[in-house]
Structure 1
Amino acid sequence: MTHAAPTIVVFDLGGVLIDWNPDYLFRKLITNETERKWFLANICSGEWNLQQDAGRPLSEATAILSAEHPDHAELIEAFYARWTEMLGGALAEGVAIFEALETAGVPLFALTNWSGETFPYAWNNYPFLQRFKDVLVSGDEKLIKPDARIYQRMLERIRKHYPDAQPQQLVFIDDVLRNVDAARALGWRAIHHTSPELTAAQLRAWGLPA
């Protein structure tokens, strides 16, 4: 990195800046913990939800899964009908890192696996999202992390602001290790976000205010 080159931070959102957990909703719908864990592991699973993050329409996903599991159709319908109840609010310590970087003038971007249909709710209800220079939403791009193409698309979007930006100038923060590994494989610096304290410490070690 040259002294004049911008140092750019790219944030994941869920698990870093926003608290999202299907359990928040399904605790109300399936009171038995064992049954609830089974349902979220085997019916409305994380891998199933990722298909919507990759751009599949929510209505199509709901209809297909309900047809496969008619006994669970009502619960499947609730997954997106009551999706906002899965949000636990902004993660204050993560947002504090964002704000420290913002105050110091560090360029900030976001790269998130998120349905294009549900993201507008987050955009309208978490005002700090509008302070990013750009937010790349997987559902709008029809690509999801850890696909290398979505990182390349993020870099292309960054270069609209910073034409000379290079992968090694980027710092990527994500709570999912495979997404971090994918960024590193492309030459990005990356932090596996396991705690705000450790993330802030790594940013400071790289000379960034956090």
Structure 2
Amino acid sequence: MSTIEIRHIVFDIGKVLIHYDPQIPYRRLIPDQAERDWFFANVCTHDWNVEQDRGRSWEEAESLLIECHPEREDHIRAFRRHWHEMVPHAYTETVMLLESLVAEERDVTMLTNFASDTFREALKRFPFLALPRGVTVSGDVGLIKPDIEIYRTHAQTFGLDPAATLFIDDSMANVEGARTAGWQAVHFADAQKLRADLAAHGVHLARLERRAAL
């Protein structure tokens, strides 16, 4: 159990609170798996998409790829056009943990690698994202996890004491980035593990415990 009192809890969003899988629409658009794997490895790559999280516009991002792969224009533009299909649902049990923390007046914020426009779209679709005190969106600040500066920016913006901050992220690299910034951090796998990790850091959820006892 941690001996440091946790006063701030910071959630990642993608694959912690909402599901994200860019393969979903492309299983329909590019049915052949080998071709689809090639497309994600060589055209709409992870590194290409990360730059939108850093703040690059979709117009610029699409133009760069279309110049190199003009025969793939429709599939390239489909990435943004069908983005809503890539985030089909929230993780209900994790959202319940978030809601319980907010209801118990814990200081909850969010820190996410997300393009500015798609985050606003997600905010409309998943209203619980408005429950925490605030959010740092990478596309808005021009920084991405695990760059230590985004953790420092978030802590400064929301007045967090790094040593008293617990960060939750599905990426081990982002967890390590938070630790480098002086935060406590846990690697997200599922809601059950998260609840245990919260308890191990002294964060007990009385609201959920009462519900379980009924």
- Same fold per superposition (TM over 0.5): yes
Q: Report the TM range for the smaller structure's normalisation.
A: over 0.9
- Aligned partner of 1:209 in structure 2 is 204
Query: Contact 1:11/1:108 (CA < 8 Å) preserved in 2?
Result: yes
Q: C-alpha displacement at 1:2, in angstroms?
A: 9.7
SS of the residue 1:90 aligns to: coil
TM-score, normalization by structure 1: 0.92
One-letter amino acid of the structure 1 residue matched with residue 172 of structure 2: L
Unaligned 5+ segments in structure 2 are 206-214
One-letter amino acid of the structure 2 residue matched with residue 100 of structure 1: S
One-letter amino acid of the structure 2 residue matched with residue 7 of structure 1: R
Matches within 5 A, 1:6-21: 7-21=7-21
**2:147 is the alignment partner of 1:152:** no
Residue in structure 2 matching 1:192, options 181, 184, 187: 187
Following the alignment from structure 2 to structure 1, what is the Cα–Cα distance between the partners of residues 189 and 71? 37
CA distances 1:87-146 after superposition (whole Å, capped 9, x unpaired): 111111211221221222211100000001211111111111111101110001011111
- Aligned partner of 2:54 in structure 1 is 54
Identity %: 39
SS of the residue 2:19 aligns to: strand
Q: C-alpha displacement at 1:10, in angstroms?
A: 0.3
CA distances 1:26-81 after superposition (whole Å, capped 9, x unpaired): 11101112221221222111111000000000010001111111121110011012
Following the alignment from structure 2 to structure 1, what is the Cα–Cα distance between the partners of residues 115 and 171? 17
Structure 1 residue runs of 4 or more that deviate by more than 6 Å after TM superposition? none
Following the alignment from structure 2 to structure 1, what is the Cα–Cα distance between the partners of residues 175 and 11? 11
> How many residues are matched?
204
Unaligned 5+ segments in structure 1 are 160-164
Matches within 5 A, 1:162-173: 165-173=160-168
TM-score, normalization by structure 2: 0.90
Change (3 A) 1:2 1:176: closer
